[in-house]
Amino acid sequence: MTSSFVDVRILAQWRDDRSECPLTIDLRIDAASKRVVSHWEVFGACDLYGDKCRPFVLRRDGAIDFGAGMRESWRTDVRDIIIRVGERFTVSWNEQDSGAYEIVKVAALGAKEGQG
């Protein structure tokens, strides 16, 4: 029996202000359970100030790494949830401050709209 997976890109919005700091993350999920199966590091981006995209690496332990020289030490539990529209996860910006994000779009990578 072989496992079936799908490579997807999620778009998530901060619940407190949907216009601020949207996140996109590329993940591999199990086609049946919709759970993350990509236990390696994956790529994502956020639009922190609405004028430029900040790429990051989502580490296996949930750390969001913006690269050398960046002081932010964000974390997320997105790897622990079912990946579907409406699901919520947490992003911690530091040890005291965090926010709830909601998945608003899940798109299969490489899929073209209108093709069936």
Domain limits, the chain: 5-108
Distance CA 69, CA 76 (A): 20
Query: Strand, coil or helix: what is 98?
Result: strand
68 closest CA partner among 80, 55, 78, 81: 55
Instruction: Give residue 112's pLDDT.
Output: 65
Q: Are 14 and 21 in contact (CB under 8 A)?
A: yes
Per-residue confidence in pLDDT tens, the chain, 116 aa: 456 999 999 999 999 888 788 999 999 999 999 999 988 899 999 987 666 788 999 999 999 998 887 777 899 999 999 999 999 999 998 888 999 999 999 999 986 655 44
Contact 91, 98 (CB under 8 A): yes
* pTM for the structure as a whole: 0.86
